[in-house]
Structure 1
Amino acid sequence: MLYTMILRNTKLFFKDKGMFFTALITPLVLLVLYVTFLGSVYANSFRSSIPEGIAVSDTIVNSMVAGELLSSLLAVCCITVAFCANMRMVQDKITGAQKDIAISPAKSHLISISYFISSALVTWIICFIALLAGLIYVHAVGYDMALSDVAWMILDIVMLVLFGTSLSSICNSFLSTQGQVSAVGTIVSAGYGFVCGAYMPISSFGDTLQKVLLFLPGTYGTSLIRNHTLHGVFEKLEAQQLPAELITGIREAVDCRLLFFEREVPLSMMYVILGTAVAVLTAGYVLIHILQEKKDR
């Protein structure tokens, strides 16, 4: 029954051409917009951080920019696409399909789990397509990433999609109209990229705002992806024997090195924070549906 419900939700998403193409095209459109508008900003910011007298090739600059753009794209899409994919839950409420499902042999907890799993599957498919497009782009600018870094990025995407799916599942549990769906989608699409440090590094914000954003799990998800997309670039900078203080400063400037109250957060702890957030949000989603089921009784 669970398999049938997951298959049903996934098929309905892909059959809805408007929703499917919106979710699929959004990452590609974002990639074009990032390259067009943010590329020069990232390049100028990187060049300005290099002291006079130290030469850095255009290849390294372009690789740095490409890595930042790819990490920004994936960090945003893993969340925004998850909200889009999870709208099936709300659409079933709007159309009345959820009432029909409720009188079927499927138990309520299986229905809730099926929405979660199908949303995660759809989001993974679209985000991995976005990853492939991004890897083609970074290769075109002359930056060939190591397979180990790509493997770590896949893990980052898996974790971030689970985070986005659990977060969207909780939010969508309280939505019941098309207007609410549109409002939440607009807010998430417009605001998440800023609060997670995808559009602009949080190091460029004020001290107070930086401290606030360091309490949000999405910040660490963005940093994880950025660390892995830029790992090869920092290896090239170290090969040029640049001062260690300069490389550390660049890592902080692009959020590859996060300081939580002056203490550096290691990558392993970032995974722990993100994994804990997924577990807590998923538990919250389960609790919400348990309470709703008792209320309906």
Structure 2
Amino acid sequence: MNNKRIGVLSVLFASIMWAIEPIFAKLSYRNSDFLQTSAIRAVFGTLTALAYAAMTNRANLRINRQQLSALLYVAIVGTIFADLMYFFALTRVPVINAVLIGHMQPIFIILIGFLVLKGDRLTKFDYVGVSFMIISGLLVTTKTPANLAALRLGTFGDLLVLSATIAWATTAIAMRKYLRGMNAGVVTFYRFLFASVVFVIYLISTSTIGIRNIYQILVGVTTGTGTILYYEGLKRLKAAQVSALELSTPFFAAILAFFVLGELLSTMQIMGIFLLFVGIYYLSKREEMR
């Protein structure tokens, strides 16, 4: 199997993990809050990454100063800020909304990558794909024709997910530019380790340290596995390609949310999912047609 196919499969399996993740998170909120769940998630994400690094990199965790700076950025922006915003938003919005908005990263990765990753350039297919995704985002966040007509572009929870999405996009660019040569398990280990230190201090200070339910562990293992697979894909594919492939996540999330949480989709949201995949089609032409 060639390197690119491995990358594609890695991202698709990561998408499945991230479709499962918010469901476990919502189930964990039954006797916990988003901060306590986020802390346990970070700890078990760290342990999952450590196990992977031990299997694939002989547990070699050495890093240089430049890598440390990039890893700190990924941990602070990607895990402490973005993940917290995302998990807080899950207490306010349906899973499918969070997943769809959260995986509109190609829009921001293409735009930021244009400035930072000089090898990536926008084509007409990028513009068409991004346009479909913007329309899709409007349909998903407004939910009804009345909201769309009134230009009520969603709730405060939707805006929180959007802020997390932009932050995640910047960390993907940082990983692609500065951490591409590192073992995916090592990158994931430090991303969650640095965040875990902050979260554990919080848990100790509030006397809430401890595991409240099995779902908190499952969220951590699922997140750690998904992040490792994502970074394996990002090492083999361009950032925009990886984010475009991530848009398979809403398909899995919609099915899981329907069967596990009983969340229904509106007609406009179904249309939004369809348009997201149309956007994937055009973004996938990016290198084929260059």
* Structure ID, larger Rg: 1
